[in-house]
Amino acid sequence: MNDFQCLELVNMENVAIIKFKDEKMTDPARIEQLGLELLALADGESQPNLEINFDNVRFFSSAAMNKLIVLEKRIRSRGGSLRLSNLRPEVRDLFGYTKLDSIFQIEESQPESH
């Protein structure tokens, strides 16, 4: 229904579950587009509740994280919620190192397989 270039809508019920189409988010133009699409999604609901499923994200840059920070602020200002799920261990580390796991709700996935 929505013509997103960077996002894939998986579910649109109580919580909109979205995935990133790109395995790596590093190209500034794609990241800019991603930011616009995330905000459009948040602004499309009176009280946006989003879950971003990271299961196909292998690499995430600081510029892409910045877009999530802007999104989190927007959603919070509108009384909604944002959850991040299915992060690979390396990507989860990124949120820990930056201490952004204190502002994002992160669904912890199963322990790393050995």
Partner 1 sequence: MNTRRSWKSNNISVLSAGIKFLEESANVWVFSENIASSVENCDAFITKLVDQLDELGWQGRDEFGIRMAMEEAIMNAIEHGNQNDPNKKVAIFVRLTPLQFLAKVTDEGEGFDPLKVPDPTLEENLSQPSGRGVMLIKQYVDVARYNAIGNKVELSKTNTSTQSNLNGDHA
Number of residues that bind partner 1 (CB under 8 A): 26
Burial grade of 74 (CB within 10 A; 0-12, 13-18, 19 or more): middle
Helix (H) or strand (E) holding 11: strand 7-12
Positions 59 through 88 that interact with partner 1 (CB under 8 A): 59, 61-63, 65-67, 69-70, 72-73
Contact residue for partner 1 among 2, 11, 26, 56 (CB under 8 A): 26
Q: In the bound complex, what is the minimum distance in angstroms from residue 35's beta carbon to partner 1?
A: 9
- 69 close to 100: Cβ distance less than 8 angstroms: yes
- 4 close to 37: Cβ distance less than 8 angstroms: yes
Contact set with partner 1 (CB under 8 A): 26-29, 59, 61-63, 65-67, 69-70, 72-73, 89-90, 93-94, 97-100, 102-103, 114
